[in-house]
Amino acid sequence: MITIKNKRQFAKMAEAGRCVAAVHEAVVEAAEVGVTLRHLDQIAAEVIRGWGCKPSFLGYQGFPAHICASPNEVIVHGIPGDDRLAEGDILSIDAGAIYEGYHADAALTIPIGEVDEESARLIEVTRRALWAGIDQVHPGKKVGDIGHAVETAAVPYGYGVVSQYVGHGIGRSMHEGPQIPNLGPPGKGYRLKTGMAVCVEPMFNLGTPDTVTAEDGWTVLTADGRRSAHFEHTVALTAAGPVVLTVNDLLTARPVG
């Protein structure tokens, strides 16, 4: 697990975070009806390289792309291929970058054109759940406080909260301890400390929380075929307080109101 010991280490993670936010901006800009997911991956590759970063995902346990592109009933880990975006789709874009050995990781879900009300609500509630979780990222809070805050945001809507995939510590590796579940009792689990960095990443499903993995070994889908949304930020617990490193002010800022 990382301990951010000095300003230089923090600056490197922050730079990786800015790169990820820039990837999101460019990919969202390009994500229109008719565009292939592979094209979005190429755009991500260019931004990461142009930023002087390396992709976290490419080659990770053999993952073949720079981003995970997860449409509709895909929860996470979708491989961007030749599928084209269609009007009314929703798309999760998960990206990671490494700057001088330090990782940042973030995801967002966007509507493609006009989406149905149910999908729009799923996206908005999942985004708010991310920020409810981030509000618990303070020294002395426990991992269960994050999960409880995320889960609580889903309850009024009856969404399936995915438990099989979780948030995580991050630093010199993309996935470090502790695991950060999206549900569970408050006040339990690992105690957060200054110097850590964590990824909070709610995944909410319209229906069942159960998942299935496709034959490609990567693509994780909802077991009932209904839609799913996913948001994620990397948060560093600095001596000056928690800092969200992957915010894009246009796309993934804290919701107002």
Query: What is the C-alpha to C-alpha distance for residues 64 and 193, in angstroms, rounded to an integer?
Result: 34
Angle of helix 7-30 relative to helix 37-50, nearest 10 degrees, comes to 150
Q: Considering the complex, what minimum distance in angstroms separates the CB of residue 33 from Mg ion? A: 28
Cβ-based nearer residue to Mg ion, 199 or 203: 199
Q: Considering the complex, what minimum distance in angstroms separates the CB of residue 180 from Mg ion? A: 9
Cβ-based nearer residue to Mg ion, 154 or 199: 199
Query: What is the C-alpha to C-alpha distance for residues 10 and 55, in angstroms, rounded to an integer?
Result: 19
Query: First vs last Cα of the chain: how many Å apart?
Result: 35
Q: Considering the complex, what minimum distance in angstroms separates the CB of residue 107 from Mg ion? A: 7
Q: Considering the complex, what minimum distance in angstroms separates the CB of residue 140 from Mg ion? A: 23
Cβ-based nearer residue to Mg ion, 141 or 230: 230
DSSP 190: P
Query: What is the C-alpha to C-alpha distance for residues 133 and 154, in angstroms, rounded to an integer?
Result: 12
Binding site for Mg ion (CB under 5 A): 105, 199
Cβ-based nearer residue to Mg ion, 150 or 199: 199
Q: Residue 64: which residues within 8 A CB-CB, separation 6 or more?
A: 58, 79
Cβ-based nearer residue to Mg ion, 95 or 206: 95
- Please report, for the chain, how many H helices and E strands are present, in that order: 4, 15
Q: What is the number of other CB atoms lying within 10 angstroms of the CB of residue 29?
A: 11
Q: Considering the complex, what minimum distance in angstroms separates the CB of residue 146 from Mg ion? A: 13
